[in-house]
Structure 1
Amino acid sequence: MARKVTIRRNMLMSLGLLMLALCVAILSITILTARQIVQGTSARLISRALDRSTAELVGFFDPVERNLAIAGSWVEEGTLAPDDSDRLEALFRPMLATYPLMSSVNIGDADGRNWMLLRQEEGWLTRRVDPTTTGPDQFYREWDGSGGAPREWRVEDPAPEDRYDPRERAWYQAATEGAAAGDEASGARPVYWTDPYLFFTTREPGITAAANAETPDGRRFVIAVDVLLRDISAFTQALDVSENGFVAILTEDRRLVGLPGHPDLGDPAARAAALLKRPRDLGIDVFEDAVAVRDAQFEPEVPRSGRAGLFSFESGGETWWADAEVVTVPHDRRFLVVVTIPERDLLGAVRSLQRNVFLATALALVAAIASAFQLARRYTGPLSALARNSSRIRRLDLRGSAPVASRITEISELATAQEGMRTALDAFSRYVPTDVVRELLEMGEAAQIGGERKTLTVLFSDIQGFTQIAERKSPEELTHHLAAYFEEMISIIDEVGTVDKLIGDGIMAFWGAPYPDPHHARHAVEAVLACRDRLDELNTRWQGEGEPPLPTRFGLASGPALVGNVGAVRRLSYTAVGDVVNLASRLEGLNRVYGTQILAAEPVPELAGPAFAWRRIDRVRVVGRTQAVDISELLGRSAEVDAGTLAFARGYEQALALYRTGAWSEASALLAGLAPERRADASVRQLHSVCARLTESPPDPGWEPVTVLDHK
């Protein structure tokens, strides 16, 4: 048989498994889509970093070109005289102060004249060289930022390597070569950008933008603006791509102009040394690998500009994601912006997402289980109560129980139906022995006609003088009085025995069925004594209350009987049928003859055991039986019967024994010697009368010491 489970457990398991399956499905989808999540997240992060880097890079060049155009217009309009140092300072110092990315301004001409304005950390520095008047000498003026007068000095005849000739500088050559090539034939003023190089004055790497300008009187000059690469690196190193991601900007020949935010480049000296180096020269494998993969896979497809597209590569034993974009600036200068992100950064986000999903699903699972538990309680609480009530009803424990309340219609209807069933069974059990119904319920069978042979002890009881009592009482009063009587008697008998039926004022009961009882005789005797003792108490109380006492006679017999359902299909009665039943009924009536209260036929005294005291009364043959049977009076429990009663019983039994042996005169003499109150006993008078008659008229030789009763 399949193992049964409770509704609560079934609901909790079902809903729990459903939610668990849902959680597993969600987590599985999250795990299975981790690669797509990583790729999508990396694409978004890298694209955003590329957009910002490209915009920043273009932003570096645009202000420079605009300011060069302004400076060129000053020259052409005559506002700016290249040989007027004070005027140059007044115009360019505000420009450099407004745009910190421009570190210095240079002006040079074909005669080698040069004027430079350099922004320092605190203050300004100018340099003027005029080989046409002062040779290679260099004139310096410095402001320390305190607002005081500038400090001026002259470097005479500097060493050849320290001399400054603008015509030898890359920015001047780029501008003059561009003009010679006809780039300005249309009247435009193009800007020429140099490749990154080390500045002559500060020895810092940077790039320079230059433009040609001409005064109204025809003098030609080249104006140049320097941009330090450290300013570009400050941006790329500060750009937050991911926890361990990098951004770098490289020249066309793959030299670094925008350094990545790598831990090895945290020191200013290290950053300065790294500028214009190639990634492989710095030992930053990830950038070297990223650039190598990009160049190998995408260079033929994006030779001039555009993005390579998201790609992954292995470096340092882990997976990285990267993208690169070629940015072209004026004068055909190209820079490569590279963004790299380690997959572990993205997996961290994915794991965080997975943790959040797990926590959310776990909370949902807990909430669902809690809800299922509450829902199950709403169902199982009333159902469990109904199940307990049903179990009690099955045991025929039909006492009223607390009502089962539920807001669920079906459960409420079931509770109402169960209460109706309990009430019906309670009424039914009052007509049928409860043990019989209980046995049928335990067997799971319907009642059928039939029975089985069992050894029983049968009891019949009857109220002495009930006819006279009934005449003096109204039917209502009599019914109420009898109800109290039967309630007490039946409750005692029902403890072990089975009440078969009520016959008017009498009771028929038996022990040994429907459940086997090897001590049926002893239990029957104990029940009869308990009934006698209880009746003594009740009769005393009733007399005090003005109610008539109900003295009761009992007859007990043990023997085989057919026990079962007797009757018709539509109407059955569980009862015992047989000679022992008739005998018990006759014995109850014999109490009137012998003046006794409790009579029992053999073998009841023997089966009941030595715990009880008896007085052998006679050997009788009752109506309907051919065999004679010894009958005895139950005196009580051996330990409770007084000595006088026991002595009387022994004396009577001696007289009975003499009677049976034919010594009738001796028996009469023995009975005559009893105490006067004992001689008045009906059984004594009955035996004395028989002995006297037989003494006067001896019987035939076939005489038997048996009293034949020809009436019921």
Structure 2
Amino acid sequence: MYRPKLAQVIIVILMLAVLSTAALIHLIWQRAAGENIEEIVASLDAQTAASVRNDLSRTLSLVSSTAEVVRSIFFQGAISANDEVKREFLFLSLLREQPAIAWIGFGFPDGRFFGSHATADGRIEMVEIGAAEAGELRPLRRDLYRPIPGDIFFEERIRAESAYVALGAPWYRLGKENGDPVWTVTNVLPNGFEPAMVLSKRVVTFGKFTGVVMAAVSLRRLSEALQALELPALGKAFVLDSRGRVLATSQPSDGVMAAHFSDFPASDAIATAAAEAVAANQVDAFRAVVSNALLGPVFVSSSRLPFENWRLVIATPRSTFASGIDKNIRRIALVVLAMAALAAATAVAFANFLFARPLARVAEQLRAVERFSLESIRHHPTFLAELNDLSQALKRMAAGLSAFARYMPLDVVRSLVEGGVEPKPGGELCADYQEVGGSIPFKARDAQSTVTSAIDRGSQVGGRSTLPIGRSLSASILQIATAALARHLSAVATARLSHKVLILELCGQLNSHDYLPTSDHSSLPGSAWLSMLRGGSNGRTSGTTRTPVVNLNELPSSFG
């Protein structure tokens, strides 16, 4: 199983700490920034909606008051609807003073129409459509004027024919049938296709119905009002009616006014996001976030307008406000990576200096203790007090184990450890052992009794126990230690026999016919033994070195 090193663990922990801290701070900051962006967008949308509502309310009020002025003048008979000069002066004056109004007109009961119109290029035209037989085109007169400071300048008169009949217009029919002002949205006016909001009022003069007065605001004017708003970059506003038709927009696509969201080109990502939000929320007022492949998240809000269940839809890409935040996020990510790299390098240096190297030295010293190589144990000072204390403790432990070597040979213990044998009390062993040098043969049939007997005999010679081993030895220890014990016990027994020979000689009890064993499996008489011990002949016979040696099983009974 793989076990990581301490330096690696420290690096990983430090990296996790740095990255987790950075991630936590980043998430908290990003959440706060996101909430702030949503609050900012909501505030801007609310301000935009309020501005549009106020502008629309002022315009509608202006249209209503203008139509009421005309109706009152005709109702009071101050100016007759058939007086061409006075009505033209009245309509022209009102139109010049109210630039938000596109049309001021009057429809007669016979289908005739007269009105003043503010064109898109800033000119004013007076339009009159005369009477005609059913199914025939009606005569059309258009007088064009160019406003100048304090007055107007007549440019030209255009005569033509028109198929427009006021009697069939929705604004005329609804105004005639209702006594109260009526608002309608129409696409066709006397000059052709022009979507507009039209207010119509029934006019009665001296109890007789004389016609319907109308005042209209072009939806183009509403789009211009939306364009005048200080919307965020890439943001767009839409005015929808109760059926979801697009009446005005702050940024017409390719200069064309679309009637539905489906009419916008596919490249208009803002219109696409607004359409998705409107389709997903079947209510007038809502706030939503729509994901777009081109712009990312898009904030979409909807609020009601004070006219015919209209509503204002504002779509603003999140990138408009969050582009700087996203850029800072990328910068922070690079800074975090740099900090993580610096932290990793610092962790490597400190982990190696403070932990890895000192612990590696301690581990090496522990392995030396395991092998009983106590002479290699040294104290290595370290910066950390705990590791320094551990190194000193190892040195003291090595000194204690060295003192233990006085009672147990280190070769025996080292062989035991290297063999991986676990020492256990008790056990018996029967084996043959041979001196490594070949000079002292040693045989044992009952290892435990023989070795124990030899230890007892050796302890009587020196007056103290030569090995701190009890009478019951572990079988595993005997397996490894017998070779060393054989050499040691043979030397002890030989020394014991030598002392016996000297004592017998002094006491006069050593007979010349007593034969004692030697290293070449032969025997010598007691006199020869005594001579070798005293340094006489040294046992040299025929070029062969003969050494007094003891075979434990062949000692005379008198030497027991």
With the length of structure 2 as denominator, give the TM-score of the two structures: 0.51
Q: Which of 164, 171, 185 is the equivalent residue of 1:195? A: 185
Q: Which of 434, 440, 458 is the equivalent residue of 1:455? A: 434
Q: Which amino acid aligns with 2:58?
A: P
Q: Which amino acid aligns with 1:200?
A: P
Paired residues of 2:170 and 2:186 also in contact (CA < 8 A): no
Instruction: Please report how far the alpha carbon of residue 387 of structure 1 lies from its aligned counterpart in structure 2 after TM superposition.
Output: 0.9
Paired residues of 2:186 and 2:196 also in contact (CA < 8 A): yes
- Using the aligned pairs only, state the percent identity: 14
1:622 and 2:529 are equivalent in the alignment: yes
Which entry has the higher C-alpha Rg, 1 or 2? 1
Residues 279-331 of structure 1 deviation map (CA, whole Å, 9 limit, x = unaligned): 6788989899969977xx96xxx7xxx4489899xxxxxxx99999684644x
Q: Which of 6, 30, 42 is the equivalent residue of 1:8? A: 6
1:335 and 2:313 are equivalent in the alignment: no
1:118 and 2:118 are equivalent in the alignment: yes
Instruction: Please report how far the alpha carbon of residue 422 of structure 1 lies from its aligned counterpart in structure 2 after TM superposition.
Output: 2.2
Q: Are the structure 2 counterparts of residues 581 and 369 from structure 1 closer, same or farther at C-alpha, using a change threshold of 3 Å?
A: farther
Q: Which of 145, 168, 193 is the equivalent residue of 1:141? A: 145
Q: Are the structure 2 counterparts of residues 631 and 229 from structure 1 closer, same or farther at C-alpha, using a change threshold of 3 Å?
A: farther
2:254 maps to what in 1? 267
Paired residues of 1:328 and 1:334 also in contact (CA < 8 A): yes
Q: Which of 481, 485, 490 is the equivalent residue of 1:578? A: 490
Instruction: Please report how far the alpha carbon of residue 64 of structure 1 lies from its aligned counterpart in structure 2 after TM superposition.
Output: 0.7
Residues 74-106 of structure 1 deviation map (CA, whole Å, 9 limit, x = unaligned): 77799x99948778767754642xxxxx36242
Q: Which amino acid aligns with 1:155?
A: R
1:152 and 2:59 are equivalent in the alignment: no
Paired residues of 1:171 and 1:209 also in contact (CA < 8 A): yes
Q: How does 1:32-431 map to 2 (within 5 A)?
A: 55=50, 58-59=53-54, 61-68=56-63, 71=66, 83=86, 92-93=95-96, 95-96=98-99, 102=100, 104-108=102-106, 114-121=114-121, 123-127=122-126, 129=128, 137-143=141-147, 152-155=154-157, 157-161=159-163, 170-171=170-171, 176-177=175-176, 180-181=178-179, 183=180, 192-201=182-191, 203-209=193-199, 222=213, 224-229=215-220, 231-232=222-223, 235=226, 249-258=239-248, 266-268=253-255, 271-272=256-257, 274-275=258-259, 306-307=284-285, 327=304, 329-330=306-307, 333-335=308-310, 378-395=354-371, 396-399=373-376, 401-407=378-384, 409=386, 411-429=387-405
Residues 109-130 of structure 1 deviation map (CA, whole Å, 9 limit, x = unaligned): 7696745251534x43242659
Instruction: Please report how far the alpha carbon of residue 56 of structure 1 lies from its aligned counterpart in structure 2 after TM superposition.
Output: 6.4
Q: Are the structure 2 counterparts of residues 360 and 15 from structure 1 closer, same or farther at C-alpha, using a change threshold of 3 Å?
A: same
Q: Which amino acid aligns with 1:67?
A: L
Q: Are the structure 2 counterparts of residues 55 and 213 from structure 1 closer, same or farther at C-alpha, using a change threshold of 3 Å?
A: farther
Residues 143-201 of structure 1 deviation map (CA, whole Å, 9 limit, x = unaligned): 4x8x8996524536531437xx8777655665x447x52x3xxxxxx6x4221313433
After alignment, is 370-379 or 192-201 more displaced?
Answer: 370-379
Paired residues of 2:531 and 2:537 also in contact (CA < 8 A): no
CA distance in 2, matches of 1:570, 1:83: 148
Residues 449-491 of structure 1 deviation map (CA, whole Å, 9 limit, x = unaligned): 99986433xxxxxxxxxxxxxxxxxxxxxxxxxxxxxxxxxxx
Q: Which amino acid aligns with 1:141?
A: Y
CA distance in 1, matches of 2:87, 2:497: 155
Residues 360-409 of structure 1 deviation map (CA, whole Å, 9 limit, x = unaligned): 99999989988986786544443322111111233314235352425364
Instruction: Please report how far the alpha carbon of residue 47 of structure 1 lies from its aligned counterpart in structure 2 after TM superposition.
Output: 8.3
CA distance in 2, matches of 1:232, 1:328: 15
Q: Are the structure 2 counterparts of residues 247 and 95 from structure 1 closer, same or farther at C-alpha, using a change threshold of 3 Å?
A: closer
Tell me the SS of whatever aligns to 1:195: strand
CA distance in 1, matches of 2:276, 2:254: 24
CA distance in 2, matches of 1:291, 1:14: 46
CA distance in 2, matches of 1:355, 1:444: 63
Instruction: Please report how far the alpha carbon of residue 5 of structure 1 lies from its aligned counterpart in structure 2 after TM superposition.
Output: 3.0
Instruction: Please report how far the alpha carbon of residue 444 of structure 1 lies from its aligned counterpart in structure 2 after TM superposition.
Output: 6.5
CA distance in 1, matches of 2:69, 2:519: 151
Tell me the SS of whatever aligns to 2:376: coil
Tell me the SS of whatever aligns to 1:435: helix
Gaps of 5+ in 1: 31-39, 97-101, 184-189, 313-319, 343-351, 457-511, 513-519, 522-556, 587-600, 604-619, 634-652, 661-712
2:481 maps to what in 1? none
Q: Are the structure 2 counterparts of residues 403 and 430 from structure 1 closer, same or farther at C-alpha, using a change threshold of 3 Å?
A: farther
Q: Are the structure 2 counterparts of residues 44 and 148 from structure 1 closer, same or farther at C-alpha, using a change threshold of 3 Å?
A: closer
Paired residues of 2:49 and 2:312 also in contact (CA < 8 A): yes
Q: Are the structure 2 counterparts of residues 242 and 578 from structure 1 closer, same or farther at C-alpha, using a change threshold of 3 Å?
A: farther
Instruction: Please report how far the alpha carbon of residue 62 of structure 1 lies from its aligned counterpart in structure 2 after TM superposition.
Output: 1.2
Q: Which amino acid aligns with 1:68?
A: V
Paired residues of 2:114 and 2:129 also in contact (CA < 8 A): yes
Tell me the SS of whatever aligns to 2:384: coil
Instruction: Please report how far the alpha carbon of residue 415 of structure 1 lies from its aligned counterpart in structure 2 after TM superposition.
Output: 2.5
Q: Are the structure 2 counterparts of residues 252 and 113 from structure 1 closer, same or farther at C-alpha, using a change threshold of 3 Å?
A: same
When the two structures are aligned, how many residues end up with a matched partner? Answer: 434
CA distance in 2, matches of 1:94, 1:173: 28
Paired residues of 1:118 and 1:124 also in contact (CA < 8 A): yes
Gaps of 5+ in 2: 28-34, 80-84, 132-138, 291-296, 318-326, 445-450, 470-484, 499-517, 521-526, 545-560
CA distance in 2, matches of 1:448, 1:290: 87
Paired residues of 2:285 and 2:304 also in contact (CA < 8 A): no
